[in-house]
Amino acid sequence: MSIVLVVNSGSSSLKYQLIDVEQSQTLASGLVERIGAAGGHARHRHEGVENDSLGSHWDVAVDIADHEAAFAVMLEGFAAHGPSLEAHAPIAVGHRVVQGGARFFEPTVITPLVKINIDELSALAPLHNPANLEGIEAAQRAFPDVPHVAVFDTAFHQTMPPAAYTYAIDRELAAKHRIRRYGFHGTSHRFVSRAAAEYLERPIEQLRMIVLHLGNGASACAVDGGRSVETSMGMTPLEGLVMGTRSGDIDPAVLLHLERRAGLDTDGVDRLLNSQSGILGLGGHGDMRDLVAARDAGDEAATLALEVYTHRIRSYVGAYAAQLGRVDAIVFTAGVGENSAVVRELALAGLEGFGVEIDPERNAVRGSEARRISTDGSATAVLVVPTNEELEIARQTLQLVRA
Ligand code: AMP
């Protein structure tokens, strides 16, 4: 059997998928929302079952006190709507953990010591690691007889050289507070770079590529021979590209200016840069679909927001091309990267002189499979490759427990 339960536990939500890894097939998926708040809500879908007495999915309003209650709701979903967890018992549970620091560079079986380490890394990811840990504790109580594995968002980037991950600040201070670049979205960058090599039918060891994960959060990654050598997110997921609500790169002195001159305190600056910036702050829409619609309707703020968003991507493509020395493929993925032809077109516009040429007709085709959107003459292949972080977590989990 090769069934793995994948758990992504946030502070107020629990997402899960039951995956048959050998078939690359999701058997069930679900989402429990508003944990610890009023107006909780759960959805559970038995994949591949179109309609039974309950409809195509199970959707309930239920108050959920904590993560333990969220798992109880999840189990109810399986019991009411299938598939049966007796007949499709997971042989392991794979957990997404955001921050693995410099300690975790590969998937790791969760022991009491590993939990202490994840907890300790909360200082670097106060919004994420505590919630991941609550999910782990609750899942271990719900599934006590199988191994639980942590798959870290940062792990793939642990191959970055010191020159790429070191900030130019006082070394001792940085070491004391573990201030360095870690990078995130690693599970996605790993999955997508491998899927791109498969699509190109070339060994990944021979390929140099730039992966652009453009979702609500966004990051670029330079992948050399299957290893991350540079990525745009830093100590936190705030650095780098312009995102839905995050500013990405900004002169750090702007923060000082905001505190000294604009009357913002530290929490205010945090909120501004993480939740009120990006395309939301610039163009009034945090969702790329709405932003593009506003631009198409002639909205000037939305037009500038889209230009800033794509200008930043192009800057990173140029920087990573220089770091890699050669680019065999540029790969778009995640919600925006997979769906927005206009973002892809604008981001790579004007790079023909560097051997990067998008074919407008190919770019306009929508699809859920990996595809090439560059011209046949383009020296660099430009691809769209759907990401699947859950499948990647399930694969890594299975590989580890079988080893
Ligand atoms: P993700 O974080 O990967 O789920 O991506 C979510 C984001 O993808 C949303 O906020 C949207 O901005 C974007 N998105 C989804 N579908 C489309 C689309 N058809 N066109 C443009 N952007 C899209």
**Mutation to probe ligand 1, out of 339, 342, 343, 346 (largest number of atoms < 8 A from CB):** 339
pLDDT at 52 over 80: no
Residues 184, 153 contacting (CB under 8 angstroms): yes
When the pLDDT of each residue in the chain is averaged and rounded to a whole number, the result is 96
pLDDT at 55: 57
Residue 54, pLDDT score: 56
Whether residue 334 has its Cβ less than 6 Å from ligand 1: yes
Q: Poorest-confidence range of 37-41, 72-76, 172-176? A: 37-41
Question: Is the shortest distance between the CB of 335 and ligand 1 below 6 Å?
Answer: yes
pLDDT at 92: 98
Residue whose CA lies nearest to ligand 1 atom number 23? 336
Binning pLDDT at 50, 70 and 90, where does residue 50 land? low
Both structure tokens of 269: 């600056």
Look up residue 226 and give its DSSP letter. T
Centroid of ligand 1 to alpha carbon of 146 (angstroms) = 35
Q: What is the mean pLDDT of residues 125-143?
A: 95
- Quote the pLDDT of residue 59: 86
Report CA(219)–ligand 1 centroid distance (Å). 14
Dist. CA 276–CA 253, nearest whole Å: 18
Q: How far is the CA of 244 from the centre of ligand 1 (A)?
A: 9
Distance CA 277, CA 284 (A): 9
Structure tokens given for 221 = 């990654």
For range 101-126, the mean pLDDT: 96
Distances (CA, A) of 142 to 57, 96, 147, 148, 322: 22, 17, 12, 11, 49
Alpha carbon 332 to its chain centroid, in Å, reads 13
Judge whether residue 349 has pLDDT over 90.
yes
Q: Which of 119, 153, 249, 376 is catalytic?
A: 153
Q: Are 178 and 208 in contact (CB under 8 A)?
A: no
CB of 342 within 6 A of ligand 1: the answer is: no
Tell me, rounded to whole angstroms, the distance of Cα 35 from its chain centroid: 21
Q: Which atom of ligand 1 is nearest to the CA of 290?
A: 12
Could you give the 3-state DSSP secondary structure of residue 140?
Answer: helix
> In the structure encoding, which two tokens stand for residue 165, read together?
């991950």
Name residues whose C-beta falls within 8 Å of residue 51's C-beta, 6 or more positions apart in sequence. none
Q: How confident is the model at residue 127 (pLDDT cuts 50, 70, 90)?
A: confident
At 49, the pLDDT band (50, 70, 90 cuts) reads: confident
Domains of the chain: 3-152 (3.30.420.40), 203-389 (3.30.420.40)
CA 77 to ligand 1 center in whole angstroms: 27
Residue 336 in contact with ligand 1 by CB distance below 6 A:
yes
> What is the rounded distance in angstroms from the CA atom of residue 399 to the CA atom of residue 247?
37
Residue 153 a catalytic site member: yes
What are the contacts of 127-132 at 24+ separation with CB within 8 A?
Answer: 127/11, 128/10, 128/11, 128/98, 128/99, 129/97, 129/98, 129/99, 130/11, 131/9, 131/10, 131/11, 131/12, 132/9, 132/95, 132/96, 132/97, 132/98
SS3 of 38-84: the string is CCCEEEEEECCCCCECCECCEEEECCCCCHHHHHHHHHHHHHHHCCC
Q: Output the CA–CA distances (angstroms, integers) from residue 349 to 95, 273, 343, 345, in the order listed.
A: 39, 28, 10, 6
Task: Please compute the mean of the pLDDT values over residues 179-184 and round it to a whole number.
Answer: 98
> What pLDDT sits at residue 34?
93
Average pLDDT for residues 37-65, to the nearest whole number?
81
